[in-house]
Amino acid sequence: MTDRATSLRELEEMAANLLAMARKLPPGPDRSKIFQEIGRFRAQIVSLQGASSRTATKGEEETGIPMDGNIFNSQGVHVAIVRGPAIFDLKGKKLYDLRGINIYKLSGELVGHLANAHSADKHLDKATDKLFPSE
């Protein structure tokens, strides 16, 4: 593993620890702000990872839609990561398949869509928030 990869891995572990601690805080506006900041931190990590190894995927070439990026709920909390034609939770578990802007369960059932799929950072509308619990 390179020094850069090791550093990025350490940042990922730090973000995971921060998230675990934040989940123990009582509900309220301060907790929400902390989740947003952690989401931004994780988005920066993902961006740094992509900067060193990003290549266009088949889906991006065909549709013009960036297929790698981050998903934020309607409140700005980082809730998922897009890698190629798949959507993963922040722990790396595959949640959904992505075809264009359409989100499908792994069983093939259409369950939603991305509102602004042309951006590397995808923000959900309130109707799609339920697909990605933030806490």
The structure's pTM equals: 0.50
Model pLDDT, residue 49: 67
Over the stretch 82-135, which tens digit does the pLDDT of each residue have? 888 888 888 888 999 988 778 899 999 998 877 655 555 566 666 777 888 765
Banded model confidence at residue 25, pLDDT cuts 50, 70, 90 = confident
Residue with tokens 């981050």: 70
Burial 24-55, CB ≥16 within 10 A → b, else e? eeeeeeeebebbbebbebbbebbeebbeeeee
Residue with tokens 């934020």: 72
Q: Which residue has the higher pLDDT, 125 or 80?
A: 80
Q: Which residue has the higher pLDDT, 109 or 52?
A: 109
Model pLDDT, residue 56: 40
Q: Is 6 exposed, middle or buried (0-12, 13-18, 19+ CB in 10 A)?
A: exposed
Amino acid in position 74: S
